[in-house]
Amino acid sequence: MTVARRARRRHHEPPARASATASASALGRFGIIDGLRGFAICLMLFYHFAFDLAWFRVIRADFNNDAFWLAFRTLVVTLFLVLVGVSLVFAKRAHPGIRPFWRRVALIAGCAVLVSIASYLTFPQTFITFGILHCIALCSVLSRPLVAFPRLALTAGIAVVALGASVHLPLFDTPWLNWIGMMTHKPPTEDYVPLFPWLGVVLIGVALGSVLPRARRTLDAAGRITPTWLAWAGRHSLIIYLVHQPILVGILRVVT
């Protein structure tokens, strides 16, 4: 009986090891994605801290016209939204059902509403009507049907970016349509991430996410060297986004 049990154990060991290896590989793939998202969070923290310093008149900076800060913000938003598209692909493969997707969208949309309310209490004249969270929620809904069609997603993404960058019509200057984009001027709001061109960036991320698994070994290796704290920040990016500004502003109020 003992010999038979040992034989059964030896027989079952390879599948268990293979399963553990596959699990580690999956974690490695998501590890680098989390790390990149964490890197985007760090850039965002730097940008918002500089913005707060200017708001408290500790430094002088023109965030609406200075080329450096405009480019910096564009980099941060682009990185976030490309990763939204990539994550849509990975999430659908990991959880094909529709419920997890809608739960995530509902969570982000609810947080977007909270951000609008909080910004109204702080900046009633320039509160956030369609910022990064609003954009992520709506772009996720519009982009998910194209997860199965990466080439179409890439073509549509390039077209949306081109339209958003080149077409500017007075029609979209109205408050009820400025969430679409293509305005002749930026609306008076503290955060503005309209569908055009940013939906296109998410769609390009969808196309990128469809080809990334082909470089699985590279992704696994990158995941293993990603700092743990950076991956942690990426996994908790939503809560960090929600709480970082009250913390930064509170610290600056005490210090200044």
The reported pTM is 0.86
pLDDT tens sequence for the chain (256 residues): 444 444 444 444 444 333 333 433 443 357 899 999 999 999 999 999 999 999 999 999 999 899 999 999 999 999 999 999 999 999 999 888 899 999 999 999 999 999 999 999 988 999 999 999 999 999 999 999 999 999 999 999 999 999 999 999 999 999 899 999 999 998 999 999 999 999 999 999 999 999 998 888 888 888 889 999 999 999 999 999 999 999 999 999 999 8
Contact (CB, 8 A) for 69 and 253: no
